[in-house]
Amino acid sequence: MKVSHFGLEFRINGLQPGVRLLENQVDMIAPMFASLFISALILIPLTLFILGPYFIKIVSIKRSILYPCIAVVAIVGSYVATYSMFQMSMAIVFGLIAFLMRANNYPTVPLLLGYVLGPGLEQYFRRSMSLNDGDPSIFFTNLDSLFFIILTCIFTYFLVFKKEKIKHQV
């Protein structure tokens, strides 16, 4: 789940996550890794010896107080990043969607992955279809794509079969 959040942050900041990230945008990624390394060198001792006892107290804060505080900081942060009311309203809308999904026992990670991977998937799908004159048989004749289609079918079958098996046991 954390990797999908990292990919979402890249998409928000205009970077295309994926295998070619380090090749295409090394001028933005290299300083990020350097600053991450330097901040780790500074913050690890600071956290362990000075601030560590105070961080333990955060765990004892009631969730009914902690979650609204996190929500306010996230919403204000979405506004401050771009000074756009639209961005802030989108943060609120997606927060409500995530809340409703979790309240109804739907996973939120697929929605997040769809947001992160969707534009790239659409672009490469369109490119594949245009290179093959609109014929979708390329996905079944190419061994790589056929392997992933079969793997997806197998996983889907076992997920559905496992769910049905659990329903029959109850």
Asked if residue 157 belongs to a domain, the reply is yes
> Helices (DSSP H) in 46-84: which residue ranges?
52-59, 63-82
**52-108 confidence digits (pLDDT tens):** 788 788 878 898 998 899 899 989 998 888 888 998 998 899 889 988 999 999 988
- Quickly list DSSP for 103-128: HTT--SHHHHHHHHHHHHHHHHHHHH
Both tokens of residue 159? 């997920």
Report the range of poorest mean pLDDT among 11-15, 70-74, 120-124: 11-15
Asked if residue 128 belongs to a domain, the reply is no
CB of 91 closer than 8 Å to CB of 98: no
Is the model's pLDDT at 43 over the cut of 80?
yes
Note the Cα 104 to chain centre separation in Å: 20
Q: Which CA distances in Å does 119 have to 114, 115, 116, 125? A: 9, 8, 7, 10
Asked if residue 167 belongs to a domain, the reply is yes
Asked if residue 118 belongs to a domain, the reply is no
Is the model's pLDDT at 165 over the cut of 80?
no
Asked if residue 159 belongs to a domain, the reply is yes
Asked if residue 119 belongs to a domain, the reply is no
CB of 18 closer than 8 Å to CB of 120: yes
Q: Which domain holds residue 162?
A: 138-170
Q: How many domains does the chain have?
A: 1
